[in-house]
Structure 1
Amino acid sequence: MTDVRPLGDDEAAFLAAARSGDAARFALVTERHRRELQVHCYRMLANYEDAQDLTQETFLRAWSKRESFRGHAALRTWLYRIATNACLDFLDRRNDRTPVPFELPETGSEVLYLQPYPDRMLPQDPQESVVARETIELAFIVAVQHLPPRQRAVFIVRDVLGWPASKAADTLELTVASVTSALQRARVTVRERLPGRRLDWRSPATYELSDDERGVVRSYMRAHERNDLEGLTALLRDDLRFVMLPERGTSVVTARDAVEGWVCGGLFRRGHDDWRCVATTVNLMPAAALYLRAPGDAEYRLFTIAVLRVVDGRIAELTGFDAAGKPWLGLPPTL
């Protein structure tokens, strides 16, 4: 049973907008929650474009259900409930889509539709928006996708949003016992996917990259721009985990084998490629946007974005995403 609570300013404004039937006023009240809801949808779906669509679907559902809101729960909680269920409905339909897989080397199992999340679209206040670096990093997003959808929702609302079991049960139309059981199973899976990581995801985290991470990104870009394959090799750990989406499969390879593979695959042509790079961040992780100028072209064109996980001054994981035609990344298409 939902506890009756004092009506806050946010809820009062929402109720006034809902009762007036003024869609513009309603949108103004709910818009302030857009970014945090979009991050929530991204954790559920692992795909930025789908998260955008489902956030908009959340607002459409909220408008259609506006008369059911009585202010007994916080507006923010009510919107999260709608967003969670919209994502679950979407996941039920997504099996029909052509997958873009991200395979984990330990199991070969696939995580579908992985896309990076542009940091400029994150909420401004990490404490209010429950965005900690660990819960938006690619490794976390991939790990959570291995949970069945409803178990995934339980894990996110309980361990990321910090909701009590009773609220999670009400949102997902489950019993408290079912929520508790699902959370226990989910924690085991996430712990296996993220060995050595903590499971308390709600403690404050900083957005700032470390000096180590910044230095590695600079060196990585410099090696690209100079076609310095030896320098690039020196930046990579010998147990590098590498994937270039949308191609299938993650590889665990030595640094030299990785670079030689890029050369053989046409990503580098020794001494002939003309690269320019821009340092950036996505998923609160260090990244480099790579621009390539083709022979005879006057401009460098956005080619890919390389997302790096840096451990002890070297690159432990490199995830490359096709960046062309994705204006939501906030990167200029040409230099």
Structure 2
Amino acid sequence: MFSLGLESRHPGEAFVDTTLGRQDGPMVEAGGVSEERLLADAQRGDQAAFELLVERHRRDLYAHCYRMLGSVQDAEDAVQESLLGAWRGLAGFEGRSSLRTWLYRVATNVCLRLSSRRPRRMLSSEHGPARSDVHDLGDPVTGPIWLEPWPDDLPAEEEPDPAAAYLRRESVELAFVAALQHLPGTQRAVLILREVLGFTAAEVAGILDTTPASVNSAMQRARATLGQRVPRRTQQAELTALGPGGRRALVDAFVTAWERADVPALIDLLTEDARFTMPPLPAWFDGREDVGRFMAERVFATPWRLVPIAANGQPAFACYQDDGERFRLGAVNVLSLRDSRISWIAGFVDPQMLRRFPVPAEFSWPDR
């Protein structure tokens, strides 16, 4: 199976997110009405028909904009602007491409405009060096600069095609989305459209108003840059190697150790070079020793309760902190794995970002 990990990549292969489907043939039924009929009605000004027409593409456009921009908030803005632009321009859609291709043309160009006006989303390690003083975390760095996590909105067991679910999760992994942000906008768009969404070079050239030769050239440069920044094994490959039982055991061990403030047990789960990041705080810690000291002296100054969730196709936790009265949502932690151990705890503590996760604001005890 093709993987975003570069060990299996062949220059002619493409990473196709089959959950999106090409859908470039005859229009299929949507809500009991053919897309052809909905399109005709929408082009005559029927807004309800337009909503039905684009609803089946909305989630996938949202994921596309997230990959392009590295931010859930920016992706929401881009989808809204894209659908408004599509509505206004629908009368001029002549069907020379599929509706799906046209929608991605609109959304991609919106993302390129937005990214040209906003700073690149980055990781803590790109903002400054690791710290050793666990009592100086720095003031929060506000503004649209941090890479944001992606709330998984579809449990794996609900995806009818397991291979498609695997590829879909792979394309939003933290390391991959972070690496994408280092590409110039056009290269980023080319790589996503070609390798994630499966468009041909000719189709991408049409989306970006360029030539297939330019697309192929941008693709080569994008692959070279990405090859230096993504791990050789994706998180999906790591999780597959761990197996369902191994994954459950790791999640259970992490929750138990965290809730008991058992630092030695947590350290035992980490790789030697494990990282702990927590934007928008600029501080981050590198290596078992400093991560363990940060946990012991700062993290576990108060009790916590953890609820396993999923984010970016990776194990994650809604983390509830005791404020003296109740346990309130204080962070979302996303785990990255390597060789069955945790190599990165990506903590996200921005309250505005936390509200975008579909979890309760307060912890509820299971037996209540």
Give the aligned partner of residue 89 of structure 2. 65
Give the aligned partner of residue 151 of structure 2. 118
For the residue of structure 1 that corresponds to 2:300, the secondary structure is coil
For the residue of structure 2 that corresponds to 1:132, the secondary structure is helix
1:319 to 335, 343, 346: 346
Name the aligned partner's letter for residue 232 of structure 1. Answer: L
TM-score normalised over the length of structure 1: 0.84
1:219 to 248, 253, 261: 253
Residues 302 and 323 of structure 1 are in contact (CA less than 8 Å); yes or no, is this contact kept in structure 2? no
Give the aligned partner of residue 92 of structure 1. 116
Verify: 1:8 aligned to 2:21, yes or no: no
User: Which deviates more from structure 2 when the two are superposed, residues 167-176 or residues 15-24?
Assistant: 15-24
In structure 1, runs of 5+ residues without a counterpart are: none
Residues 263 and 296 of structure 2 are in contact (CA less than 8 Å); yes or no, is this contact kept in structure 1? no
For the residue of structure 1 that corresponds to 2:356, the secondary structure is helix
Give the aligned partner of residue 217 of structure 2. 181
1:253-310 Cα deviation digits (max 9, x unpaired): 2x2321202344x3222xxx22111011111100111111122x1x210011111012
Give the aligned partner of residue 169 of structure 1. 205
Distance 1:146 1:100 in 2: 9
User: Which deviates more from structure 2 when the two are superposed, residues 325-334 or residues 74-83?
Assistant: 325-334
For the residue of structure 2 that corresponds to 1:310, the secondary structure is strand
For the residue of structure 1 that corresponds to 2:359, the secondary structure is coil
Give the aligned partner of residue 330 of structure 1. 358
Residues 102 and 249 of structure 1 are in contact (CA less than 8 Å); yes or no, is this contact kept in structure 2? no
Distance 1:11 1:36 in 2: 17
Shift of 1:60: 0.3
Name the aligned partner's letter for residue 139 of structure 1. Answer: A
Cα pair distance change 1:82/1:276, threshold 3 Å: same
Shift of 1:133: 2.3
1:28-57 Cα deviation digits (max 9, x unpaired): 211111100000000001111111121111
Residues 202 and 212 of structure 2 are in contact (CA less than 8 Å); yes or no, is this contact kept in structure 1? yes
Shift of 1:174: 1.3
Matches within 5 A, 1:251-266: 251-253=285-287, 255-264=288-297, 266=298
Cα pair distance change 1:103/1:276, threshold 3 Å: closer
Distance 2:166 2:44 in 1: 31
Name the aligned partner's letter for residue 292 of structure 1. Answer: Q
Shift of 1:241: 2.5
In structure 2, runs of 5+ residues without a counterpart are: 1-23, 29-33, 130-143, 364-368
Give the aligned partner of residue 269 of structure 2. 235
**Equivalent residues, number:** 314
For the residue of structure 2 that corresponds to 1:278, the secondary structure is strand
* RMSD, matched Cα: 2.9
1:64-90 Cα deviation digits (max 9, x unpaired): 100121222111111111110010011
2:174 to 108, 114, 138: 138
Give the aligned partner of residue 160 of structure 1. 196
Shift of 1:328: 2.4
Cα pair distance change 1:334/1:172, threshold 3 Å: same
For the residue of structure 1 that corresponds to 2:361, the secondary structure is coil
For the residue of structure 2 that corresponds to 1:190, the secondary structure is helix
Distance 1:128 1:13 in 2: 29
Distance 2:307 2:243 in 1: 16
Verify: 1:303 aligned to 2:336, yes or no: no
Give the aligned partner of residue 11 of structure 2. none
Residues 309 and 316 of structure 1 are in contact (CA less than 8 Å); yes or no, is this contact kept in structure 2? yes
Give the aligned partner of residue 102 of structure 1. 123
Cα pair distance change 1:186/1:330, threshold 3 Å: same
Distance 1:117 1:317 in 2: 16
Residues 127 and 282 of structure 2 are in contact (CA less than 8 Å); yes or no, is this contact kept in structure 1? no
Distance 1:75 1:328 in 2: 29
User: Which deviates more from structure 2 when the two are superposed, residues 143-152 or residues 209-218?
Assistant: 209-218
Structure with the greater relative contact order (CA < 8 A, sep ≥ 6): 1 or 2?
A: 2
Residues 70 and 121 of structure 2 are in contact (CA less than 8 Å); yes or no, is this contact kept in structure 1? no
Residues 324 and 333 of structure 1 are in contact (CA less than 8 Å); yes or no, is this contact kept in structure 2? no
Shift of 1:209: 7.2
